[in-house]
Amino acid sequence: MPANELTDVELLLRGELTVIGRMPHSSNATLLCSITHDERTERVIYKPLKGERPLWDFDPGLHRREVAAYRLSEAMGLDLVPPTVLRDGPFGEGSVQLFIEHDPNLHYFSILESRDDLHDPLRAMCAFDIVANNTDRKAGHVIVDANDHVWGIDHGVCFSADFKLRTVIWEFVTEPLPEFVATAVARIAEDVPLDIAALLTDEEVTALVERASWLRDGKHFPVDQSGSRYPWPLI
């Protein structure tokens, strides 16, 4: 990258946001925007705090969990969550995430069935969701870009101190963790970076370490003994 070229994160932090419209089928305000700085323009997803609906089991501030999920993915070295930052926008503080162009018909189930070459990123996402305690990994929250990079989106209901995992990714149960996944998990079991901890409560940080340690020590993808840890709808 040339020295004067903006990184994605720099663009998200410094660019001017312009709302294009609201994304359909979203329970909270999820706004498609353009962002421009100098001569570069991209599309982004802006989720303002003011657009959140109250939840009984999560305090206001789901946008901060979106940012924490990106930072967790980076700290684990998995590159599963699109660049996401915390900043002000047209409707106040919110998360701003780089929009990933993708085919909406290609989701977790279709990737699993037709793309054996992308199963390792799915394994990584399975581990990521356990560590992050993702309560909403629907199939449609797994997408693939034009370069065959697998991304996970919509992480506003992660990181609860209580174990609330709900995911469609159960195909890898009992498999040993691949070495790259085990290494990623161990990083969080040993240390939660301050920029993640700053977005969570002390109880949530402690639980994050405990989940990572449990997965690291188990060395295998766990089995859902309850058979009920699925989101709804599945896609």
The enclosing domain of 166 has a CATH number of: 1.10.510
pLDDT digits (tens, 9 = 90+) for 56-71: 889 999 999 999 999 9
The answer as to whether 3 is a domain residue is no
- DSSP readout, the chain? --TTSPPHHHHHHHSEEEEEEEPTT-SS--EEEEEEETTEEEEEEEEEGGGPPP-SSS-S-HHHHHHHHHHHHHHHT---S--EEEEEETTEEEEEEEPPP--TT--HHHHHHH-GGGHHHHHHHHHHHHHHT-S-B-GGGEEE-TT--EEE---TT---SS----BS--TTTTPBPPHHHHHHHHHHHH---HHHHTTS-HHHHHHHHHHHHHHHHH-BPPP-SSS----SS--
Q: What is the pLDDT of residue 3?
A: 46
Listed residue (109, 89, 93, 92) closest to 33, CA to CA: 89
Encoded tokens for 227: 């058979």
Q: Does residue 43 lie within any of the structural domains? A: yes
Residue 20 placed within a domain: yes
In a domain, 68, yes or no: yes
Range(s) of the domain holding residue 99? 8-218
Residue at 232 is within a domain: no
Question: With contact defined as beta carbons under 8 Å apart, do 110 and 103 qualify?
Answer: no
The structural domain count of the chain equals: 1
The tokens describing 195, both together, are 């920029």
Tens of pLDDT, residues 171-225: 999 999 999 999 999 999 999 999 999 999 999 999 999 999 999 999 999 999 8
Residue 151, both tokens: 């991304």
Answer whether residue 66 is part of any domain: yes
pLDDT in tens, 11-35: 999 999 999 999 988 888 999 999 9
Position 205 in a domain: yes
Structural domain contains residue 227: no
- Smallest Cα–Cα separation from 178: which of 68, 71, 76? 76
